[in-house]
Amino acid sequence: MTINNIYSRMRFLVAIVLVIVAAISCRKDLSTLDSNKIPGVVIDTTGNSQLSVFQFERLVLQPSVNLQGIPESEVSYEWKVNLLPGDTLYQVISEEKNLDYEVRFKPNTSGKYHHLVYTITDKRNGLKYIMAWPLTVKNNIGEGLVIAESRDGINTDLSHIMSPRVTSGYNDESVKYNVYSSINGSLIPGIVKQLQFTKIFGVDALLGITNNMVFRVNTLDYTYFGKDNDLFYPDSEEYHPQALGEVYQNNLYIAENKLTATYLGASREFGLPFDYSWKVPDFIAANPNSANGYNSYQPAVVISFYDEVNQKFVYQQVLNPSFGDANMYAVAADPGAPFDPGAVLNKVNLAAGINVDRDFVHILKDKNNGNVNIYVLTGGVFNYPDLTPPQAKAVFDVSAAPGIATATKFVILHDQKVIYYATANKIYAIMYSTPTPIIEERFTVPAGETITTLQVYQQIGYPLAESYIPTNNKQLIMSTFGTEGKVYILPMINPGLGNIDQPNIKTYGGFGKISAITPQK
């Protein structure tokens, strides 16, 4: 046997010995596993197999966690949720053991849900213990007040208030800020100057206007629906809206000094405006009543306004030519009346509305001397097939009223002969049930605040619903701006006197500068 053969056999024997030693070592390690288990975190999910939360409410979870001997200092926590149901993009929402998170996602459609993922990491070895839940987001924006507010003076967001004073069957207080931007990821360009809640072809929606845009938001989830040409037929190159309004089975839109009336309950878009030569102002008096509703009063005339260009009071009997004469006419001159409707010249519209007698009320300011007068015209009388048009009924000179020269906000009550107007920081009441109006101060806002909006609260459906909450037509909704935007609910007491129940005023703060408020159903 050669030397090489001897060395080869020795190397082979050494290799066999090493294999045997390794096998014995492995067998020994396996024998100790039963008594040296790797500790594992246990997350108890009893009662939490599925999660649900109302939109804009807080999701609070305190899971029962057993670290199985791992020191608390050696673990980290993470909660994350996907941004859209079914999406793979997740956002970390907390790094605490327990979760307390305001959910601002839009409500889920049926069968869709988010995934909430909870991860506990053992920092010593990088092991991760993961638990996931399906999360359903429910709609929690119901009847209440929609607040249009701006924090940059350029764009608008929408917030929301629910309270027993503005929400039927509700006993809590809820303020949801920045609802629109949270849902849509953007702001509304421009400053919203008016909002209107309505039903568009069976869908609850908000219509809003800025100086150069009309837009729609669906209130089921506050998602943006469209603007301008999405809401009109035919299309237009530009939109310069003046005002929105509503009467029985007609939504009103005023732009370019023309009136458009479309029943959006049966249509998805506004149609063409009335093609008349009269110039429709921002403020019109529109009688919302109908004999087909629960209110037995049948309006003889639906629309009344003062045309600043043609210097005439104008009326329109009906808005649908299928139900009567839909033309616009000037109120006839009458030198023997309390005022001559044909001789009211050089005026500017400050406000218009209807009063408790269903008269048309117009508040006009003289372009030359600044005098302010309240003009009252009858609502007309209809005895089929003849119409007695509106006629001059009364005129009140309120030029000497305190602050009225600079007042820009007026509220004409429907159920009593009281008109409120606001200066920068005060509210006054005009009581005009007698030949000489009585004018008295009713409220002063706190120092440093300026009034930005003022209106009477009217529940959606007024005046045609069967019943209302007790606060309907019984409280003013006011907003102010100082260091922040505020909403005031001012209860009215002593009908006919315009008093404010000051001890029971309710205030909500934390907004930007408020430019418009509307009730929502």
Q: Exposed/middle/buried for 496, CB within 10 Å: 0-12, 13-18, 19+?
A: middle
pLDDT of residue 47: 58
Residue 56 confidence (pLDDT): 86
Place of tokens 């009320």: 361
- Residue owning tokens 């649908």: 320
Interatomic CA distance for residues 269 and 246, integer angstroms: 15
| Contact present, 170 and 143 (Cβ < 8 Å) | yes
Q: Are 260 and 274 in contact (CB under 8 A)?
A: yes
371 DSSP 8-state letter:
-
Element (H, E) at 209: strand 203-209
Query: Do 107 and 135 touch, CB atoms closer than 8 A?
Result: no
Structure tokens at 114: 């988010």
Helix (H, G, I), strand (E, B) or coil at 268: coil
pLDDT tens for the chain, residues 1 to 521: 444 444 445 444 444 434 333 443 333 343 333 434 455 788 876 656 678 888 888 999 998 899 988 999 999 999 999 999 989 999 999 999 999 999 988 888 767 889 999 999 999 999 999 999 999 888 888 899 999 999 999 999 999 999 999 999 899 999 999 999 999 999 999 999 999 999 999 999 999 999 999 999 999 889 999 999 999 999 999 999 999 999 999 999 999 999 999 999 999 999 999 999 999 999 999 999 864 444 445 689 999 999 999 999 999 999 998 888 999 999 999 999 999 999 999 999 999 999 999 999 999 999 999 999 999 999 999 888 889 999 999 999 999 999 999 999 999 999 999 999 999 999 999 999 999 999 999 999 999 999 999 999 999 999 988 889 999 999 999 999 999 999 999 999 999 999 999 999 999 999 999 999 999 99
**DSSP state, 317?**
S
**What per-residue confidence (pLDDT) applies to 108?**
81
> Beta strand pairing status for 241-247 and 223-227?
unpaired
pLDDT at 293: 40
* Under 8 Å between Cβ of 283 and 303: no
The residue count of the chain comes to 521
pLDDT (0 to 100) of residue 46: 63
Quote the pLDDT of residue 89: 94
Give pTM, 2 decimals: 0.83
d(CA 419, CA 410): 7
Distance CA 518, CA 167 (A): 13
